[in-house]
Each structure stands twice: as structure tokens, then as C-alpha cells.
Amino acid sequence: MAHQNAALDSVFHALADPTRRAVIQRLGRGSATISELAQPFEMALPSFMKHIGVLERSRLIVSKKTGRVRTCLLNRDRLIAAERWFGKQHALWGSRYSNLDGLLAKLNGVENEG
């Protein structure tokens, strides 16, 4: 459980950045070298590599160096594991809530009763 929590911490942390999400999205189309991944971003390479490091530590991506070229791959299973957390929440909700507006109306009702 603690292990699973740490995994979710690192995956959600990695996803909390638009550059990193764009890298994930790009790698969904197939493997890419660091140069290819960095190309769309107006960012110094050391800054970009920090993002790659966060993604690798979260195990959302893996990379492999061949000669002087580092190629990155998406670890799709890791992303699916994080997505599963949302599914678990749905299962807990059941049909309890329909929407926030309904909830707020209910809360206002409770307040008016009190």
C-alpha cells in the first residue's frame, strides 16, 4: 500500500507539468530521441533534461542510450495504473452524487434548516 502510494505520488507529480504531459503525449505516438522530444519546446537542454529525469524517476518513461543517442519510450502500464486510481473513486461514488450544483443546493438546504 505504501509502495503503491509512493508510485502514485511520483506519477501524479510527474503529470503536474505541461511540458512533461506533452512528452508523454508525444511518446504515445512512438519512441523518440531526446533531441526529437526537446525540439517543440523553447527551453534550454539542461532544463528539459530535468523534466526527463522526473518522468524517468516516476517510471512513466524509460530511456536507453545507444552510442551518443538516448531514446525514450512510454511505460504505458505505469500510466494505466495511475488511471486506475480514478476508476476506484468512481466505484466508491456509486450513484451518490449527480453533480456539484446539486451538492451545493443540498448544502444550502442544510444551512437553511440549521
Interacting residues with its own copies (CB under 8 A): 5, 8-10, 12-13, 15-18, 21, 24-25, 28-31, 62, 64, 66-67, 71, 73-77, 79-80, 82-83, 85-86, 88-89, 92-93, 96-97, 99-100, 103-104, 107, 110-111, 114
Residue 59 zone, left/alpha/beta (φ > 0; ψ -120 to 50; rest): left
CB of 18 to its own copies, least distance (A): 4
In the bound complex, what is the minimum distance in angstroms from residue 48's beta carbon to its own copies?
A: 17
Minimum Å distance from CB 73 to its own copies?
Answer: 5
Q: Residue 55's closest CA among 70, 73, 67? A: 73
Q: Which stretch of DSSP H or E encloses residue 14?
A: helix 2-15
Task: Specify whether the CB–CB gap between 53 and 19 falls below 8 A.
Answer: no
